[in-house]
């Protein structure tokens, strides 16, 4: 598995000026920052450099302001560049602004070809909250990760060799290096899988990646091919995959012997043309990201096992490629799913819910205490919330509150949406129990209602439509590609359940 640069957390007293090429600090505007307060615990040479920068004419700490000076102990040939950057008003500061500053600081260090980077987090309440460790793991990946394995290896691209994050002494971020590293590893895996194109990331390839991860981490892995899927009556997965030369798979991972039983289900459409109801050509290349739900649950699984959380974890990953072909399922077909319910196909591009129908029914049958499902399910969720957030559907108020709090703590936006009875009524079929596509309005809501019909007996369950957060399109001002959305807040929430 790919990793980000050598990463460690240190407290200020462990910093030495000669061990870094650059030390990056930040200060708020309107404060009486001094070299003693801002550089507390840092080497004397660094504090002197900070003092020089704070004393320069024009320094106010406004957002985007940046001064630099060299730090070198007397008589030493080794030193570091000290960069002081402004963050604006402290009362207006939040995790999203901290994310942005961290990404920009790391990118400048990369562009300046620094090898050893110390990044000093500002001492602010957003760094001291309980979920700061999981947030930091996610944010460091956002700053340092690049998907570059298809680029010309002979072309030099500088990568930071060592990234040391200096967290305020006594803060959760400073005391949770294992958590930071586990979340970072989970997010990197999620992004690597998500970014891999469909010509490589077939259902079989994804299943092999899951199997390799399971072998590495000591998880039990089961993989079903078409014959096993047919014998189990999983018609939804088989229907979606019928038109592809790459047959579908269903992966189940099992780990742990104590604690609550947690089921994670992730939609894995390795490429989505829409099938017979084919999509417009524009932006269809982004449909390699339709497997990001599967990537999320695999990333969460890696982090949970690396943290050795006392949970009994079950992961269900349905995988299929939705292609138009003489064998493809058609509008008007009626498909029988694992729990016996029949579904009338109105639109073959509403394929994700067909994969999830079989998987959710199987996961529910195994009676978990908690069930979470992740899918890039609907464009309607993106219309409602933009690409800045994902939709949360759950009938369990306590579960909703816990997951939303975890998302707030890790800087991932999530919004609870309604599960009203009339949404189920709108998904009733004419000639089958259900139909796979509903009316125009509220498409994310009716999709969630459809999925609820395959969850039986599980009180604490949630559907997360992550279409808005799972990836960034090429027209965005951020790094394009899979984001690893959902790994951090899920791990943070599960830590609470495990304790």
Query: Which residues are tagged catalytic?
Result: 279, 353
Q: Which residues contact 110 (CB under 8 A, 6 or more apart)?
A: 158, 159, 160
- Between CA 472 and CA 46 the distance in angstroms is 38
Classify residue 72 as exposed, middle or buried by CB count within 10 Å of its CB (0-12, 13-18, 19+): middle
Q: Hey, which bits of 442-482 come out as E strands?
A: 461-465, 471-472, 481-482
Using alpha carbons only, how large is the chain's radius of gyration in Å? 24
Residue labelled with tokens 């602010």: 124
DSSP annotation of 266 reads E
Q: Which helix (H) or strand (E) holds 82?
A: strand 79-89
Cα–Cα dist 331/140, whole Å: 45
Rounded Cα distance between 396 and 410, Å, is 21
Phi, psi for residue 431 in degrees, rounded to 5: -120, 10
Q: Is 198 exposed, middle or buried (0-12, 13-18, 19+ CB in 10 A)?
A: buried
Q: How many residues does the chain have?
A: 499
Tokens of 480: 């394009």
29: phi then psi, degrees, rounded to nearest 5: -80, 160
How far from each other are the two terminal CA atoms of the chain, in whole angstroms? 29
- What is the spatial distance between Cα 448 and Cα 461, in angstroms, rounded to a whole number? 12
Query: DSSP of 58-78, one letter per residue?
Result: T----TT-EEEEEEE-TT-S-
Tell me if 105 sits within 8 A of 24, measured CB to CB: yes
Q: Tell me which residue has tokens 């001291």.
A: 128
């Amino acid at each position: 598995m790919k990793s980000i640069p050598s990463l460690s957390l240190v407290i200020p007293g462990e910093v030495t000026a000669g061990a870094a090429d650059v030390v990056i600090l930040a200060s708020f505007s309107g404060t009486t920052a001094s070299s003693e307060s801002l550089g507390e615990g840092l080497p004397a040479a660094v504090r002197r450099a900070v003092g020089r920068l704070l004393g320069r004419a024009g320094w106010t700490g406004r957002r985007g302001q940046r001064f630099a000076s060299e730090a070198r102990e007397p008589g030493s040939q080794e030193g570091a560049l000290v960069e002081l950057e402004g963050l604006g008003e402290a009362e207006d500061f939040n995790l999203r602004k901290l994310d942005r500053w961290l990404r920009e600081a790391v990118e400048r260090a990369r562009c300046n070809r620094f090898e050893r980077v110390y990044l000093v987090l500002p001492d602010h309440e957003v760094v001291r909250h309980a979920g700061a460790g999981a947030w930091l793991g996610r944010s460091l990946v956002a700053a340092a990760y690049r998907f570059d394995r298809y680029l010309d290896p002979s072309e030099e691209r500088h990568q930071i060799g060592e990234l040391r994050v200096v967290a305020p002494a006594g803060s959760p971020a400073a005391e949770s290096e294992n958590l930071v590293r586990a979340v970072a590893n989970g997010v990197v895996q999620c992004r690597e899988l998500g970014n891999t194109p469909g010509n490589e990331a077939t259902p079989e390839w994804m299943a092999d990646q899951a199997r390799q991860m399971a072998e590495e981490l000591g998880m039990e892995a089961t993989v079903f091919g078409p014959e096993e899927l047919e014998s189990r009556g999983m018609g939804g997965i088989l229907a979606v995959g019928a038109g592809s030369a790459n047959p579908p798979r269903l992966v189940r991972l099992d780990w742990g012997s104590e604690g609550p039983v947690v089921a994670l289900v992730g939609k894995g459409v390795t490429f989505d043309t829409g099938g017979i109801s084919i999509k417009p050509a524009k932006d269809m290349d982004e449909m390699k990201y339709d497997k990001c739900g599967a990537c999320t649950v695999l990333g969460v699984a890696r982090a949970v096992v690396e943290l050795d959380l006392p949970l009994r974890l079950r992961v269900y990953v349905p995988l299929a490629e939705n292609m138009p072909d003489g064998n493809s399922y058609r509008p008007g077909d009626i498909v029988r799913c694992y729990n016996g319910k029949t579904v009338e196909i109105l639109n073959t591009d509403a394929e994700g819910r067909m994969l999830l129908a079989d998987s959710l029914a199987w996961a529910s049958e195994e009676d978990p205490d908690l069930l979470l499902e992740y899918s890039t399910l609907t464009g309607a969720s993106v219309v409602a919330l933009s690409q800045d957030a994902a939709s949360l559907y759950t009938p369990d108020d306590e579960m909703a509150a816990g997951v939303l709090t975890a998302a707030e703590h890790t800087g991932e936006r999530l919004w609870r949406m309604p599960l009203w009875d009339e949404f189920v009524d709108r998904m009733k079929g004419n000639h089958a129990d259900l139909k796979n596509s509903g009316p125009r309005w509220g498409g994310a809501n009716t999709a969630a209602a459809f999925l609820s019909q395959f969850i039986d007996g599980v009180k604490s369950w949630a559907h997360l439509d992550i279409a808005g957060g799972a990836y960034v399109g090429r027209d965005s001002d951020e790094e394009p590609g899979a984001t690893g959305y959902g790994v951090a807040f899920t791990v943070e929430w599960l830590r609470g359940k495990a304790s």
